[in-house]
Each structure stands twice: as structure tokens, then as C-alpha cells.
Amino acid sequence: MQDTAAHLVDRVLPHVPVRHFVLTFPRRVRWHLAQDPKLAGQALRLFMRALFADLRRRGRRQGIRNGRPAAVAVTQRFGSNLQLNHHIHALVADGLFELDPDDPDDKRPRFHRLDTPTDDDVTRLLAKIARRVVALLRRSGRLDDESTEPPDALQLTLATAAGLPSRSTFEPKPRALCARLEGFSLDAQVGVHENDRQGLERLCQYILRPPLAVPRLSRTDDGRVRYRMKRTLSDGTREIVLTRHELLARLSALVPPPRRHTIAYFGLLAPNARGRPALTGQRARARGGRAHAAKAAAALACLTAAALACGAPPPCLTPPTPEPPATAPLGDRLGDPPPRPERKRTLDWADLLRRAFAIDVLTCTRCGGPRQVIAFITEPEVVAHILDHLGLPSTPPPLAPCRGPPACESLGFETGPEADYSMDPPAFE
């Protein structure tokens, strides 16, 4: 959460105002999206297309003709009450970018700020999204089935997790820039100023948070697990009490599907978008990839063969070192690239501790000077001697005693090297 939020603020999102859009689905729709990752990806693309079309329409209303949007979308599968709640968070630049037609990859695009959307704009956008998502599900045969019982254990777990109590069950109070339609909802109330980078990082941490808050988790006297809700429901429910197996089943339903990205980039922030290097301040990668390198190698081989046939020296095999391209100037002007676009993708351990917990481990607490790593000590005797000198425990905690024979041996099954372990053991509690 901390590392990815720092990556978005330092290397991706430019100095522009950002608006936070939250799209939630009805319970029946979110269950189908959580079950089928491909269908969820199609629903995400429908949402972003409708959102970008609305931004361009609002831009034309202000006289912006060739503007291009930029956004980062995060898909979450959970709610604050440990229920399966597939919804989408989108951080969208609150304006449009106009690229330089002569040099779009090196010259910083011009940013045009859009007016704050109205309630009618949000309502119209939600109606379009709901209509397209429902049509997508009907084309896939998802909403026309008469069977209500999931066919396998995984779908049964997802359906059970989606049935936990949720705040969306009750009708909330109407708010500005928040529309609701037949179980769909779209919230566009939160906006971040272009100079509020700390607020933007906190917002990124919020949409990248894990599903479980450990301080709200406790154990009851009878061995069950109690999870305290973030907010009290309208019916007075404040906590959820589950057995350990039920808690694991809920958490397994909240795990994202394998080989599917939960963070996606759209518009000018897409990986191969024209103008992205100038927007983010990063160097543009050479286009063509392996195919371009293969063509260059074949051309060099033909030139070498022709030169040798004519008796001339072969061409130089070492290409000249190109000069590094000039990056866009960094600053805090409207539309400038992020503050640290050329840093590494992941923070090192010291920077991450400083960013997450405000702890500078490389600064001495006594004199305030910088600390340096002197040596890495791995000899057990030396480590024990240093720990004893500092008054710290130098021996590991004792191991837990053996819990007895395995369950299959206590039930009378054969164990040992000659036992047949291909047979499934009987089910027991």
C-alpha cells in the first residue's frame, strides 16, 4: 500500500487536480464480476470509456477540442465489513491534456482544467454505465439464468461472502455529486488540489488498502473471531462474529484472481500512450522492441558482407552512444510531471520506513548525524556477545512441545514409509 502509493505520487501522477470516482454495482452484478475476471475487465473498460467520453463532452462545452484524459483505476473486491464487494476506484485528472503536434513525447502537454461536474453530469454518466454493464451481462448470459444455487464450492464461497450485511442494503442520505440508480452508484465528490501531494498520497493509500484491519480483529471467549465494523449499520449491527473456518472462507473470497492486474492505467497514462513520457517526465523507450533490433542486426550483417566482398573494411559494430534525452522541467506548476519520475520503481527499506512510519533509521537519535552500515555480522558467537553486552536476549524462545501423533495415526490408520498415502483421509473436525 505505502510503496505503490508513493510510486503513483512520485512517478506517475503529474501536478494536476485529481478527482476520485467510485463505481459500485448491485449485489447480483458484483457477484458475477467477482466470479469472472474477464467479465470484470470488460466492465472496467466500459466504465472508463463512458467516463472519458463525458470528460471530452464537458471539454467541448468549454471550447477544448483535442483534449485527452488520463486516469489510474484500482479494482477492489472487498468492503469495510469483510463482504465481497467488487467496485472500482478511479483517480482521474480533473481536466484534459493537449499534446504538442510537433513533438508529443518530449514537450510537456498543455493542461486545461475542467469545471466541477454537476449532479446532472454524474447522474447522466451513471445511467450510461449501468445500461452498458447490464447489456454486457445479458450478452454473456449472466442475468438470464434461473438457477440461483452456485454449482461449485468456489462460487458458493463467493456467494456467501457477498451476502454479508453491507451499508448498501439501506438507503443512504442523498449527497452532492453522488448518483444512485437500480443498485448502481457513482460518487465523484472527492477532489484533490494540484499542490496537495500529501492528500493525494493518502487517497492512493486508501484505495490500495488491504481488506483486513488487524486492530479491529479480536477473539471471543468461545474461540470465535469478532470483527468490529468501521461504521455502525442502520439496524444497529456493530460487529461480525465468525468461526475461524468462516473467517478463512471470507478472506479467500476476497483474494484477487491470479494473473489479473488490480491497477490499470488509461488515457495518457497508459503504458504505450503517445505523450506519456512527456507527461510523467520519464525517458521514452525505443519503439519496435525485438523486431526493430532483429531488423537492425540483419541490415548490419548485409552491410558487413557487402564490404568484405568489395575489399573494404567492415562497418563499425559499436553504435555511437546517444545523448540522453532532456526530460521535462520539474516543478509545481500546473501540468508539470511528478516530483521524482526517474527514481526506482520500489523504495528501499530505509525510505519506505521513513515514508510509512516517519522513522529515519539512518539518522542518529543522539547527535542527529547520519548513520552508516559498518558490517554485517553473521557469526553466532559474535552476535550473542553483542546482544549480551546490550542487555538484549541472545537465545531464541523455546520451541512448542510436540502435539502428539498425527491425526491419521490416532484414528488407527497405517503410518510410516510403507503406508499408502494416495487415499484421502476421512473428514473430521
**192 and 96 within one domain:** yes
- Residue 287 pairs in a beta bridge with none
In a domain, residue 232? The reply is no
**Burial of 34 from C-beta contacts in 10 A (0-12 / 13-18 / 19+):** buried
Q: Could you give the number of structural domains in the chain? A: 2
Q: What is the mean pLDDT of residues 66-70?
A: 93
When comparing pLDDT for 136 and 368, which is higher?
Answer: 136
**353 and 271 within one domain:** no
Lookup: cell for 231: 461504521
Rounded Cα gap, residues 100 and 2, in angstroms: 34
Give the closest residue to 67 by CA, choosing from 78, 79, 75, 55. Answer: 55
**178 and 84 within one domain:** yes
Of 11-25, 243-257, 314-328, give the lowest mean pLDDT range.
314-328
**101 and 16 within one domain:** yes
Per-residue pLDDT, 91: 97
Which residues lie closer than 8 Å to 353 by C-beta, 6 or more apart? 359, 360, 361
Q: What is the mean pLDDT of residues 261-270?
A: 95
**274 and 359 within one domain:** no
Rounded Cα gap, residues 349 and 220, in angstroms: 36
344-401 per-position pLDDT tens digit: 888 888 889 988 888 888 888 888 888 887 888 899 999 999 999 999 999 888 887 7
Q: What is the mean pLDDT of residues 128-148?
A: 82
Q: Which of 15-24, 133-142, 298-307 has the highest mean pLDDT?
A: 15-24
When comparing pLDDT for 182 and 331, which is higher?
Answer: 182
In a domain, residue 318? The reply is no
**162 and 13 within one domain:** yes
Per-residue pLDDT, 161: 62
266-301 per-position pLDDT tens digit: 999 999 899 999 999 887 544 444 555 555 666 656
What domain range is 137 assigned to? 2-210+256-280
In a domain, residue 428? The reply is no
Positive or negative torsion for Cα 75, 263, 337, 101: negative
Per-residue pLDDT, 402: 66
Per-residue pLDDT, 80: 82
**191 and 276 within one domain:** yes
**198 and 92 within one domain:** yes
Out of 223, 248, 280, a domain closes at 280
394-424 per-position pLDDT tens digit: 988 888 776 655 555 554 545 555 554 444 4
Per-residue pLDDT, 200: 96
**203 and 102 within one domain:** yes
171-212 per-position pLDDT tens digit: 566 788 999 999 899 999 999 999 999 999 999 999 999 988
The chain-wide mean pLDDT, for the chain, equals 81
**104 and 7 within one domain:** yes
Per-residue pLDDT, 63: 92
Which residues lie closer than 8 Å to 235 by C-beta, 6 or more apart? 165, 170
In a domain, residue 263? The reply is yes
- Residue 91 pairs in a beta bridge with 20, 72
In a domain, residue 327? The reply is no
CB 192 within 8 A of CB 199: yes
Per-residue pLDDT, 65: 87
* Buried b or exposed e, range 412-421, using 16+ CB within 10 angstroms: eeeeeeeeee
For residue 156, name the pLDDT band (cuts at 50, 70, 90).
Answer: low
**177 and 52 within one domain:** yes
Q: What is the pTM of this model?
A: 0.75
Give the closest residue to 163 by CA, choosing from 30, 257, 39, 22. Answer: 30
> Has residue 324 got a pLDDT over 70?
no
Per-residue pLDDT, 35: 86
85-112 per-position pLDDT tens digit: 899 999 999 999 999 888 887 888 999 9
**175 and 27 within one domain:** yes
The alpha carbon of residue 41 and the mean position of all alpha carbons in its chain are separated, in whole angstroms, by 14
In a domain, residue 366? The reply is yes
In a domain, residue 133? The reply is yes
In a domain, residue 36? The reply is yes
> Has residue 429 got a pLDDT over 50?
no
